Structure 1
């Protein structure tokens, strides 16, 4: 394949097998540019035969081509047909497409997902390896264009997270948003029933689970990486779902879509496990770094009594039990992310602990959070500090900056309740800054 660059963007390719000249502009511009090249350039690039053929074609067919273009304009023939006849041999036309013109940007985005991005994404379980997105998600996406749009959007967002060149950030941001919009529209259409079709329930459940996982990553990446100006230029699908605590919790819950099957622990069992963790805390010899990591357990241990001093005697016993259960569940999930002899847990274990806490807290506690009850918000602040912050530090690029935003929102909501801020005072500053894990 011979190739000549015309200016900064046009490309001329000559394929001797097909006798094809391909360029983005008309052939006249091609021939004029070729005629301007010097003999030295010809010898350096080895394009002598191409130039001779092009000049001969120019002298023999200039008039006939101009006539064809003029006739086409008068007859209202699409310009694509004219260009097809000008640039391809007679046996090639738009009714019989020429050799495939690959979208190399699309292929590069897909390659980036397969070779890089998929390794940075969490899997829905502690024991599920990094092959999950290749072995489970990709085969499903290859038969669902809307799901593939979601993976391509994640890939472009990943490039944005790592890029430091403004033009690259802008280009990939726009592509990511286009793919994201396609994912939203396609997922919505796929959820609608189609008359006359019967879908396998297992296949539908798998599509629902994977769609929720992709949605979670896309929502977080959009909040973390997109500037407000970019978001405001898009449709209401984006502007109607802004970043806040409620939407963030909703996005994370969509990652697991845990079905309630009656196997959840009773509050008594949760309290018993938390008490056992507190007892073990001072019985084991641990390193200095481990003591820094588990220091938050001291604050969680004292949190119920401190909350009682600040908020006074509660009116609703169910809310009290739900709050205590949420604290005990947080103790269990926080302690599960490390062991005394291993200071650095697996990245996926941190993610799993973070999202599973949301699934395991009582429904009454979820309602308290939705009502912005101060006691519930305090516990959520501890969850953000203990697990969301660690997940961000572990290298989950789509969580960049979200911990800080959550801290500001929770602090702002607690400011109206006397003494509430003292319960989370210094919580985020005192949380150890663990090294990034890749």
Structure 2
């Protein structure tokens, strides 16, 4: 039912949604803006008061309280229909009016800076309100109308998540059922695009190379599914659903860990490639555990990662992008034969000769330019000239890595810039870090600016930079100039 008001039926009341639509402007008017809107249409004094008195008898809901129509309905009369996009990520389906806004949505909400064409599907959109109250809803075009039962079934199939009752019992092997295929689909279409690859091509490496290996080996498939389930948990706000995905991840991890342990005990060249893929998955899963607790870990059902600290984090970060490094770290930390794999995984990665990129924010470049002077004021004169030279070299290398990180806004560049610094450090500086030298810890704290930047693109790192920054602060003398120099990063740069 609709009621019209004003000269030429300017306003139309839609009783179904309790909104008042201006037929000339083609959008709904908020109750608080009615008087000014009528003035805009040159409706003055007496007539305006009569209209306002009549409209006051109607039930008008606020923009946030309007019940949006289901997809099955035809367009709302009086509102324009525009072409738009619906997100295809599992459990999301956000609506955007442009492909540019949809790409931004994937970057901000799914951690994918360069989404594939399949990230969204074309739909017809309408909105009741404009300005800051825009809230798009999808409408069916002629020929696309479906029954209520069909739309309910469709929405159920899209949004259904595993419930505690449908989770398979923990055991040595978990069935690959239809729910499992959802995780596999999510990995190939979404999660794979968020993971770092050394060659800068996550689509080819994670979506094709690793998936091809995993499809031949059940334990690798379970590792892939565990990462996918953790990713889904990281994307959601509802704690109940997050817990379901984490529990599912723990189930997959149980079988992955069994297969991974078996491979570590059999270091043959024939199993080298699967071992490297498993080592890389293990590093990513460690990061997942550090940023969100998985119930099975605390129950001792699967091996947990190393405690979250500076050394374990920096080692794991390198392993996430470098399968050779990940495997060498794994065999050197376990009581397993290692000669075969150590010889076969010689690190071919070298340092970068990139110059300073013009994309690095000037404020950051200035911070590094004056950092040696600020450190000289805050610290005592170094006992060894080599420590001084190593510290300056580490700062120069860090500027190079910022150039790598800011070369582009994709996960590959951002991760490479962050991880490269760890690989390019000299032995002298690494020893300074190991002995908790204040100079080394201050430079390391500034490296965390790259970690903080990576958190915006890598969902499994979120919160790591601040945790480590607080650990570094705790290693410095209380109320010292060095601690204040590091603490300055918390308020001025990290923005937490």
Distance 2:393 2:276 in 1: 27
Q: Which residue of 2 aligns with 1:400?
A: 462
Q: 2:246 aligns with which of 168, 173, 188?
A: 173
Q: Which has the higher contact order (CA 8 A, sep 6+)?
A: 1
The offset of 1:336, in angstroms, is 2.7
Is the 8 Å Cα contact of residues 149 and 183 (structure 1) preserved in structure 2?
yes
Structure 2 vs 1, CA of residues 426 and 416 (structure 1 numbering), >3 Å: closer, same or farther?
closer
Alignment of 1:96-175 (within 5 A): 103-126=177-200, 128-175=201-248
Q: Distance in 2 between matches of 1:232 and 1:159?
A: 21
Distance 1:261 1:350, change over 3 A: closer
Aligned counterpart for 2:315 among listed residues 250, 254, 260: 250
Q: Is the 8 A contact 1:157 1:173 kept in 2?
A: yes
Report the counterpart of residue 300 of structure 1 in structure 2. 368
Q: Shift in Å at residue 374 of structure 1?
A: 1.6
Which digits, 9 at most, give the CA deviation of each residue in 1:152-191, with x for residues without a partner? Answer: 1101101110122332212211121232233233222102
Aligned mates of 2:177, 2:301 — CA distance in 1: 26
Distance 1:184 1:320, change over 3 A: farther
Partner residue, 2:334: none
In 2, the alpha carbon distance for the partners of 1:110 and 1:234 equals 26
TM-align CA RMSD: 3.0
Give TM-score scaled by structure 1 length.
Answer: 0.62
Matches of 1:211 and 1:102, distance apart in 2: 19
Aligned length: 301
Q: Tell me the SS of whatever aligns to 1:243.
A: coil
Change (3 A) 1:388 1:185: same
Other-structure match for 1:84: none
For residues 266 and 437 of structure 2, what CA distance do their matches in structure 1 show? 39
Alignment pair present for 1:355 and 2:419: yes
3-state SS of the aligned residue for 1:312?
coil
* Correspondence 1:274-313 to 2 at 5 A: 277=356, 293-313=361-381
Given the alignment, which residue of 462, 473, 479 partners 1:411? 473
Q: Secondary structure at the match of 1:307?
A: helix
Contact 2:387 2:428 in 1 (8 A): yes
Q: Structure 1's 181 and 369: CA in aligned 2 closer, same or farther, altered over 3 A? A: farther
Distance 1:428 1:388, change over 3 A: same
Distance in 1 (CA, whole Å) between partners of 2:262 and 2:241 is 32
Structure 2, gaps ≥5 residues long: 1-174, 326-344
SS in 1 for 2:252: helix
Alignment map for 1:16-415 (pairs within 5 Å): 103-126=177-200, 128-193=201-266, 199-200=269-270, 204=272, 206-226=273-293, 231-235=297-301, 237-238=303-304, 241-255=306-320, 256=322, 257=324, 264=350, 277=356, 293-338=361-406, 345-385=409-449, 387-394=450-457, 396-415=458-477
* Structure 2: distance between partners of 1:160 and 1:321: 45
Give the match for residue 31 of structure 1.
none
The 1:124/1:306 distance shift into structure 2, 3 A limit, reads: same
